[in-house]
Chain A
Amino acid sequence: MALRRQINETDAAFSDPIYGVNLRESEENLRGGESRLMQNCEYYGGVRIRRGSTTLNGSSFGAYKILGGHKYYYGGVNPTGKRLIAYNNAISVVSDVGTETVLTSGMTAGLNTYFTTWSITDSCYINNGTDTLRKYDGTTFSTVSGTAIPTPRGKVIPILDRLMAISPYGIERTDPRVDNVWSTDSSWATLRPQSPGLFTTLHPYTLRGTDTLYAGAIAFQERAHYLITGTDFGDNVESATASAGENAKIELLDSNVGTASPDSVVSVPGIGMFWFTTDLNVYWLPEGTLTGKYVGDKIQSTVSTAGIESTNAVQLKQVWMTYFDHMLVLGIPTGSNVYASTQFWLDIRSLRLHPEWGPVWYGPMTGQTIGCSWLENQQGDNKVMGGEGNSAVGAYVYQYRVPSQFTDASGASSTAVSMSYQTPYKSFGTPSREKYVQAIHADCNSFSGTATVDLLDLDGTLTSGLTLAAVT
């Protein structure tokens, strides 16, 4: 039915949410192209319900959370791979049909566990911050033995021809190409922080200079981060003095921004590094630079929807980030949760194509309790996996962001993904004047089930639960 003095359709249209969700700005100041809420949906060829997850193992491995996971690709000319997971006190291999082979039940129980594949030994290194470094070569699971084997905090990382790990003294390194000779509290081979406190994690990083690549790593404390670089990391790390030519160095990049979330540090190809900071934001170190910036302001909420400001500050180790399929997925434990219960997604495609738009976030994504996440992307794999974070659900392994999957697995059961998309508060050019609304029109795809519409004004909900009906 025609409406007298109807606002024309161009002015009456809500812009597509190309700038994503903004939980920080006031209702009055949300701009066209932003969204108040993008719960369980993303902007990708229209506002689209997000994809769901499936369970790998049909029955639980026990009433435990998954503490870490990794796809260990190895085998040289006969490449193969194994999916490793940690839960309770166990390290296990889990096949693609969910069959478990326990490698050990001798780990200290309940600790976040980190896996690193080192190509030089074709082995996977496993640590949890309490037990001596473990090693798996695809056949044999063992405790690494030798000289000064560390009990590393965070991940062990490869740097040029050796491994590095965090000890109570600083950052230790191996001799070239071996895993069984480590420095310990060395006057030259142990890299020490400038700010007080232990290092929290390491992440490989290559700095691009003019015609030069500087291989190295970024080292983190809770409130600082550093650049480690060098071309020669020494020959005999047990020696009292450095070998000739040794030139490794550690330099403070920022004395305020660090992380207490080792699993949040992630590299995004062509874009840079991201991590979750101790002050509950997301930090971006753009590719090729050493100057970072915060990019999580829009998901620091000032409204009733919980954002990253609601992250459980005593569970920052449970925060994780993973990059998959042009989306940077951030998992956070909100409120009093002790596992990541909410996700926010940063649209990397948008950041790459439209850097002038700034960070574009979607979320919150609810309905999954993935406590840790890892990629499986070699030898024909192309998927992102997660481990159940809630021990009450049980030790389950999931694949998430599964194409054409619109239910979320939670243990052996599943729940339909439920999305909620909310536009900005549009004044239609006359904020002081009341408007008479007659109808809402939407162009959608053909969908099953029922979509409902709520209408909201500044002072609350006007109407809710209206059925969005097809126009025939």
Chain B
Amino acid sequence: MAITPAYWGDGSLYGDGDYYYSIEGSPFEYSVENEVHCHRLSVRINYTAAAIPGAGEAFRIHDLRARVAPDSQDSFTHEAFVDATTPSERISAVVNHSGSEFIISHLQLIAQRKKHQPKG
């Protein structure tokens, strides 16, 4: 969004001003608010150059961060529930599939430590 540049400190008090802005090229802060839930968040920023003859500066992103908090629920895109309660020391998983393209990018175990460990 275009904004009118106003220099830092142009207000009535020292340091007061409409925007934090020093010289051309210094970063402005931009934001977008949107409430959504996700597992892994990827942000895509799209920008088409404003065709202003003589516009001297490229669009630049210096820093990008999310305002985000963890939810309380576990969930995945794909899950296999196991009700077994047999304690295991080391666990290996075998994933079987046939007949179509199948890609595993991430495999994760949800487990709980057994309270009383066996004595060897």
Contact = CB atoms under 8 A, between A and B. Distances in A.
Interface string B1-32: 11101000000000000110100111111111
Interface of B: 1-3, 5, 18-19, 21, 24-52, 54-77, 103, 105-106, 108, 110
B69 A7 contact: yes
B30 A9 contact: no
Contact of B41 (A457, A468, A469): A457
Interface stretch (A63-71, A256-264, A436-444): A436-444
A437 B38 contact: yes
A421 interface: yes
A447 B19 CA distance: 14
A12 interface: yes
A442 B63 contact: yes
Given A440-B32, A448-B52, A449-B48, A470 B3 contact: yes
Interface in A404-421: 404, 406-407, 414, 416-421
B49 A425 contact: no
B48 A417 contact: yes
A156 B18 CA distance: 63
A426 B34 contact: no
Given A444-B59, A446-B21, A472 B44 contact: no
A439 B48 contact: no
A175 B56 CA distance: 53
21 contacts: A28-B106, A46-B61, A51-B58, A406-B50, A406-B59, A418-B46, A423-B42, A428-B70, A435-B70, A436-B69, A438-B35, A439-B32, A440-B43, A441-B64, A446-B24, A447-B57, A449-B2, A453-B34, A463-B36, A470-B30, A472-B18
A434 B75 contact: yes
A433 B74 contact: yes
A48 B49 contact: no
A45 interface: yes
B28 to A, nearest CB: 6
A47 interface: yes
Kindly list the 10 A-B residue pairs having the minimum CB-CB distance in the complex, ordered from nearest: A26-B105, A449-B50, A406-B49, A425-B40, A448-B50, A28-B106, A443-B27, A46-B60, A13-B65, A422-B44
A435 B70 CA distance: 4
A406 to B, nearest CB: 3
A36 B34 CA distance: 22
A445 B59 contact: yes
Contact of B27 (A37, A423, A432, A444): A444
Given A27-B40, A444-B28, A452 B60 contact: no
B3 to A, nearest CB: 4
Interface centre among B31, B51, B66, B75, by most chain A C-beta atoms within 10 angstroms, is: B66
Given A435-B38, A437-B37, A466-B34, A455 B43 contact: yes
A427 interface: yes
B49 A416 contact: yes
